[in-house]
């Protein structure tokens, strides 16, 4: 499954386009975000992407989970958002 990593500086419309493209091609995509700013941009991106794919008959749903990742040899908790169609 393809994973998109989102930062606080990510542009929601650009990320939404990537989410929509991967969702159309693969049927699902994971989005990973660390920190409040990144999660904010991720959620905005998902809301925008929902509008992009609804015209294709795709009812986008999002399932949030926590995950542990290693950044610079330090363990951090990230939010992982599984995006798929209902």
- Residue-wise pLDDT for 15-58, tens only, equals 999 999 999 999 999 999 999 999 999 999 999 999 999 999 99
Residue 71: per-residue pLDDT: 84
Query: Are β-strands 74-85 and 3-6 bridged in parallel, bridged antiparallel, or unpaired?
Result: unpaired
Tokens read off for 22: 């991967």
Put residue 35 in one of left, alpha, beta given phi > 0 → left and psi -120 to 50 → alpha.
Answer: left
Residue 21, domain CATH: 3.30.110.20
Q: Of 86, 45, 50, 83, which Cα lies nearest the Cα of 65?
A: 83
Residue 53: per-residue pLDDT: 95
- Tell me which residue range forms the domain holding 43: 3-85
How many domains, in total, are found in the chain?
1
Residue 21: per-residue pLDDT: 95
Residue 26: per-residue pLDDT: 93
Given a cut of 90, whether residue 86 has pLDDT beyond it is no
């Amino acid at each position: 499954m393809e994973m998109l990593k989102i930062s606080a500086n990510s542009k929601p419309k650009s990320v939404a386009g990537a989410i929509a493209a991967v969702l159309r091609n693969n049927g699902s995509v994971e989005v990973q975000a660390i920190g409040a700013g990144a999660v904010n941009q991720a959620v905005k991106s998902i809301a925008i992407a929902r509008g992009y794919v609804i015209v294709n008959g795709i009812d986008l749903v999002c399932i949030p989970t926590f995950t542990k990742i290693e950044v610079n040899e330090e363990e951090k908790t990230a939010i992982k958002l599984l995006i798929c169609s209902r």
